[in-house]
Amino acid sequence: MGEMEVPSDVLYGASTQRAVLNFPVSGRRVHDDVIRAFAMLKGSAASVNAGLGKLDQDRADAVMSACRQILHGLDDRGGLGRHFPIDIFQTGSGTSTNMNVNEVVANLVCLARGAEIGSSKDNAYLEAGGVHPNDHVNMGQSSNDTFPTAMHIAGALLIENALRPALSKLQGELDNKAKALDSLIKTGRTHLMDATPIRMGQVFAGYAQQVKLGNDRAGWAAREMLVNMPIGGTAVGTGINTFTGFAERVCAVLSKSLGLSFTESDNHPEAQAAKDSFVSAHGYLKTIAVSLSKIANDIRHLGSGPRCGIGELNLPAIQPGSSIMPGKVNPVVCESVMQVACRVIGNDTTVTMAGMGGVGSIFELNVAMPVMIDAFLESVSLLANVSNVFVDKLLVDLEVNEARCTELLESSLMTITALAPEIGYDKCAALAKQAHKEGKTIKQIVSEQNLMPAERLAELMDYDSMTRPG
């Protein structure tokens, strides 16, 4: 395609530079986790190619060493990260990023061997055992199977190493609250209206169960949907220019080094033409976001006040809430959780659209993979980070206003539900309306009308028993 000037201080080559110039779109570069996944994949492929007798061991060792450099040098963009500059909104197959990695690996080998950057295109260097970005680093591979494979590696690892531990931590704290608060009884609410009593422990146990189920969903997404790998399909899923046993062996190497059971796809055309696994897996992430938002929204409403709201919970004051109203404190952590949910739900639309024919998947290749994996990884990271914040900045210091819980419970009209089996639904409805009109409690109105012995009224109006069926 003609000459291309490349900055002298970078490790990439002409293909990467063309992509840099072609796609000045967002300023958001491909996620580091995708680059790390590529380094894991390229190193594994080199090892397998050597084992298959397709790549000499010296070149394979050089490629693997360069890949290890990338893995350890991506901690910040000031290190090796600056050599991976391509925008997310690039070619939909991720070809630019695959070539970027190939070029950087090849040039790292050049430096390791005392050759100038760019020598990987020099015939004399290659004849002396040098590494070429396409012929050696990309051996037996195509962007069309490496980029989606890197997506699978990055997505599964981030869920397992970041999201699932964060959700376990959140579930644990909610379980602790459920146990500690199980004897405290409060007013239940449905439709935002007073309902029958419930133990605070039951409320938090419900939250803990939501998070547990979310963690199970995350595990299912990582271990069942993302471990089936496209590698080996090359250009269109037929496996042209790859080798018998290559994909299976690459998956085995990755499984051993990463602790997840990666397997070769049962159907390579499906694995490359469609990314339904990511659409489905992100659906689970969306469900987790909905759960966290529900929990955060409940807690902020239960903590509303401190004098003119429900006020059953005392949320920790971690920052001033207003620039004009002195002393105001807001449920900022809950708001953060709910905003993350908004973003994840929005990302779900991005992932869904990227998976659709005519937008992403068409014929033998999905062509919206970079934006798909960016949205996916953002969702995983946001959910993991905000779960940790939820615990550290709110739940550990969350307190219950027992006096307020008792006050509201005593004034609730719906405790009369416990009397309905003895005096009837219609009579109870009339008594509740009368008590509300006269500003009295249920106990007061029933006692005044001598509808049952005091001992029986006390027995039926035992709030704790109302929370324990039978």
Q: What is the pLDDT of residue 76?
A: 55
Q: What is the pLDDT of residue 121?
A: 85
Q: Is 191 a catalytic residue?
A: yes
């591979």: which residue's tokens? 141
Q: Are strands 228-229 and 263-264 parallel, antiparallel or unpaired?
A: parallel
Rounded average pLDDT over 437-450: 96
Q: What is the pLDDT of residue 469?
A: 85
The answer for residues whose C-beta is within 8 angstroms of residue 470's C-beta and 6 or more apart is: none
Confidence band for 77, pLDDT divided at 50, 70 and 90: low
Q: Is 168 a catalytic residue?
A: no
Q: What is the pLDDT of residue 360?
A: 80
29 CB-side CA count, 13 A: 17
The tens digit of pLDDT for each residue in 78-89 reads 589 999 999 999
Rounded average pLDDT over 106-123: 94
Q: 3-state DSSP call for residue 357?
A: strand
The beta strands (E) that lie in 49-116 are given as none
The tens digit of pLDDT for each residue in 34-67 reads 999 999 999 999 999 999 999 999 999 999 999 9
Q: What is the pLDDT of residue 78?
A: 59
Rounded average pLDDT over 402-413: 97
Q: What is the pLDDT of residue 208?
A: 98
Tell me how far apart the alpha carbons of residues 426 and 428 are, in angstroms, rounded to a whole number. Answer: 5
Q: What is the DSSP secondary-structure string of 140-177?
A: T--HHHHHHHHHHHHHHHHIIIIIHHHHHHHHHHHHHH
Q: 3-state DSSP call for residue 349?
A: helix
Number of H-type helices and E-type strands within the chain:
19, 8
The answer for residues whose C-beta is within 8 angstroms of residue 249's C-beta and 6 or more apart is: 48, 51, 52
- Mean of the per-residue pLDDT values for the chain? 96
| Domains of the chain (ranges, CATH numbers) | 14-137 (1.10.275.10), 143-402 (1.20.200.10), 413-466 (1.10.40.30)
Q: What is the pLDDT of residue 143?
A: 97
- Pick the closest to residue 139 from 56, 71, 54 (CA basis): 54
Q: Which two tokens stand for residue 80?
A: 């090796």
- The four Cα atoms 349, 350, 356, 359 give a dihedral, to 10 degrees, of 130
Return the percentage of the chain with pLDDT > 70, whole number. 99
Q: What is the pLDDT of residue 229?
A: 96
- Pick the closest to residue 293 from 329, 345, 330 (CA basis): 345
Confidence band for 411, pLDDT divided at 50, 70 and 90: very high
The tens digit of pLDDT for each residue in 240-274 reads 999 999 999 999 999 999 999 999 999 999 999 99
Q: 3-state DSSP call for residue 86?
A: coil
Confidence band for 299, pLDDT divided at 50, 70 and 90: very high
Q: What is the pLDDT of residue 362?
A: 87
Q: What is the pLDDT of residue 333?
A: 98
The tens digit of pLDDT for each residue in 117-136 reads 999 989 999 999 999 999 99
Active-site entry in 26, 183, 257, 322: 322
Q: Is the peptide bond before 306 cis (omega within 30 degrees of 0)?
A: yes
Return the percentage of the chain with pLDDT > 90, whole number. 95
Contact 166, 288 (CB under 8 A): no
Q: Which two tokens stand for residue 438?
A: 């006269």
Tell me how far apart the alpha carbons of residues 364 and 216 are, in angstroms, rounded to a whole number. Answer: 33
